[in-house]
Structure 1
Amino acid sequence: MTYFLYILVNNIVPISIMIVIGAAIYRAFKIDIRTLSKLNFYVFSPALVFTKLYESQMDLHVLLQVLSFFVLFFGLLCVLIEVIIRLKKIRGGMRSAMRNSVIFYNSANYAIPLNQTVFAGNTYTLSIQIVIMIMQSVIPNTYGIYAVNAHKSNLKTTMKTILSLPVIYVIPVAIFMRYMHIPVPHSVYLPLEYISNAFMATALLTLGVQLGAMKWKFNFSNVFLSNVLRLAIAPALGFLIVWVLGIEGITAKALVLSCAVPTSLSSVLLAIEYDNEPEFSSQAVFTSTLFSMITIPVVIFLLGTS
């Protein structure tokens, strides 16, 4: 009950308020969702990635262990989804939309506070979640863009789209400056912090605008499949991988918990920006966030963290 109330009060309610505000703004002013999407991709997201990479404090051993887990988890999850997509004969843009709704998960504003509540503010588990968050910030801006464009553009056009995004250049610059201990002038870093802090609010408002604009004709079959894969199959796969890799203790628990969170807003932003099943993507985020109130306490119970 404690975790249920925590998830409800600290995740579902704040997220829902922002989504409702976004929907209300659209209903009142018919706000342009494309403009919000451009701001997320070209302003807020690059600032967030830079500040998180630049501020990161990663122990090399933990980093390698977490990256090994993440690469294996991500790869196996992609293979599993591909098999299911082919078995269900999902076609066109829905293939990438379904894939993105499962492999991109809310590793920041949902997973970080959840991690710190479950593990009582443990800085070690926080560092694990931050590594996952950084990977989940990078992949939507590379593989995610390729996936949503692959069925309608050739490789050259898709790569041109990816290379036009600022985040591609922000990542190596942030890593280089971080490990070469190159200081960023305060007058430059302060606006970057302001912009990065605005990412989540803008992304949630964008989701609200999209939900306010859509017809609310649920694709129950695909949305349900996405939710099951994201909230049930993904953490089960996480359990299997930590067992195979021989990862134990609090590290294993933090990694499995990181797999159990709902679909990321990145899938919605990609869908809106590239006109690829935005209604399905919005519905997947919305429903997985609601259903996570039930599934995450179950995962926490199975982890034995209480």
Structure 2
Amino acid sequence: MAYFGHILLNNVIPLSIMIAIGALLYRLFQLDIKTLSKLNFYLFSPAVMLKMLYESTISFVVLGQVLLYFAVYFALLCLIVEVVMRLRRYKAGMRSSMRNSVIFYNSANYAIPLNQLVFVGDPFTLSVQIIIMMMQSLIPNTYGIYSVNAGKMDAKKLWRTILSMPVIYVIPLAFALRGFEVTIPPAIYTPINYVANAFIATALLTLGVQLGSMAWKLKLSDVLVSNVLRLLVGPALGFGVVLLFGFTGPLAQALVLSCAVPTSLSSVLLAVEFDNEPEFASQAVFSSTIFSIFTVTFVIYAVQVLLP
């Protein structure tokens, strides 16, 4: 019950307030969703990724274990989603939006505070979550863009769009700067900090603006399918993969917890930026965030009991 209350008060309610502010601002001023989307893709997201990777302390052993886990988990999750989508006979646009709502999860502004709450600021489990966050930032900016635009753009334009994403270059740059112990001058790092600190607020306001601009034609069955796959099947699969590799202790717990979080804002940003089922994507993010207070609490209990 303590976890339930903490998640509600420190994760869900603050997120909901920011989303509500975004919706209200749209109603008052008709904010341009496309401009907000571009700010997230090309400015705020790269800045927060550079800052977190540059400041982290990740060992190569942990990096290898987490990347192995993520590769297997991600492939199996994609396979499960593909089977469900074929059974439900979704069309191309809905297929990519449904897939993105399940395989892209909130590994930054939800999972990192949650990780620090559950593991009491443990730097090891934080490094595990940062690696997951890195992959969950890289893939939407590459595969995510490809899946949304395949069939809409010619190959040349599609690759030009993918290669224009700053996150692709920020990740190796951050590792290089940290590996060679390069000190970023304060005149440069201070603006990076300013922009990175604005990422969460801007992303949540963008979601609120999208929700506020919708006609709210509810897609309850589709949203429910997305929520079940993300919040129930996702962590259950995570348990299976850590048991497959024989991971135990804090590593196993952090990995399972990392995949129990709700749908990522990146799925909404992709849907809005490339006009691909934005209403469904927004509803999936909002509802999964609300339902996660119950499912994540259960996962926290389960990992502590089953993965000591």
The two structures have a TM-score, normalised by structure 1, of: 0.97
Partner of 1:254: 254
2:56 maps to amino acid? S
Matches within 5 A, 1:67-106: 67-106=67-106
Query: Who is 2:23 aligned against?
Result: 23
Please give the per-residue CA displacement for 1:69-110, whole angstroms capped at 9, x wherever unaligned. 111111111111111111211112111100000011011111
Shift of 1:167: 2.1
CA displacement at 1:48 relative to structure 2: 1.4
**Match of 1:119?**
119
Following superposition, the deviation at residue 169 of structure 1 comes to: 2.2
Cα distance in 1 for partners of 2:126, 2:51 equals 16
Mapped to 2, the partners of 1:36 and 1:107 lie a distance apart of 21
The answer (yes or no) to whether the contact 2:53–2:130 under 8 Å persists in 1 is no
Letter in 2 for 1:2: A
| 1:70 maps to amino acid | F
Residues 261-297 of structure 1: per-residue CA shift (max 9 Å, x gap): 0000000001000001100000000000000011111
**Residues 275-294 of structure 1 mapped to structure 2, 5 A cutoff:** 275-294=275-294
CA distance in 1, matches of 2:151, 2:297: 38
Match of 2:172 in 1: 172
The answer to whether the Cα contact below 8 Å between 1:93 and 1:151 also exists between their aligned partners in 2 is no
Partner Cα separation in structure 2 for residue 250 and residue 172 of structure 1: 27
Question: Identity of counterpart residues, as a percentage?
Answer: 61
CA offsets 1:44-70 (integer angstroms, 9 cap, x no match): 111112112222210111111111111
Q: Decide whether the 8 Å contact of 2:207 with 2:265 is kept in 1.
A: yes
User: Which residue matches 1:228?
Assistant: 228
What displacement does 1:236 show? 0.4
| Structure 2 portions without partners, runs of 5+ | none
Other-structure match for 1:188: 188
Q: How does 1:133-144 map to 2 (within 5 A)?
A: 133-144=133-144
- Distance in 2, matches of 1:303 and 1:151, equals 41
- Equivalences for residues 207-226 of structure 1 within 5 A: 207-226=207-226
Does structure 2 retain, via aligned residues, the 8 Å contact 1:51–1:192? yes
In 2, Cα distance between the equivalents of 1:225 and 1:237? 16
Q: Which amino acid aligns with 2:209?
A: V
CA distance in 2 between counterparts of 1:66 and 1:168 reads: 19
**TM-fit CA distance, 1:249:** 1.3
Q: CA shift at 1:304, angstroms?
A: 2.4
The residue that corresponds to 1:147 in the other structure is 147
> For 2:181, what is the secondary structure of its paired residue?
coil
Matching residue of 2:237: 237
Tell me how many residue pairs correspond in the alignment.
306
The aligned residue for residue 56 of structure 1 is 56
Q: Greater CA deviation, 161-170 or 190-199?
A: 161-170
Equivalent position amino acid for 1:122 in 2: D
Q: How far does the alpha carbon of each residue in 1:116-166 deviate from its partner, in whole angstroms, 9 at most, with x for none? A: 111222221111111111111111111111111013123222111111222
Contact kept, 8 Å, 1:4 with 1:293, in 2: the verdict is: yes
Secondary structure at the aligned position of 1:142 is classed as helix
Counterparts of 1:174 and 1:293 in 2: how far apart (Å)? 33
Distance 1:63 1:299 in 2: 24
Where structure 1 has 5 or more consecutive residues not aligned to the other structure, the ranges are none
Q: Match of 1:60, as an amino acid?
A: F
Amino acid paired to 1:274: F
Contact 2:231 2:292 in 1 (8 A): yes
Residue pair 1:52, 1:134 contacting (<8 A) in 2 also: no
- Structure 1 residue identity aligned to 2:96: S
SS at match of 2:301: helix
- What letter corresponds to residue 69 of structure 2 in structure 1? F
Q: CA deviation at 1:23?
A: 0.4
Moved over 3 A (4+): none
CA distance in structure 1 between the aligned counterparts of 2:38 and 2:121, rounded to whole angstroms: 35
Is the Cα–Cα contact under 8 Å of residues 137 and 167 in structure 2 kept in the other structure?
no
- Using the TM superposition, name which of 292-301 and 18-27 deviates more: 292-301
Contact 1:231 1:260 in 2 (8 A): yes
Letter in 2 for 1:281: A
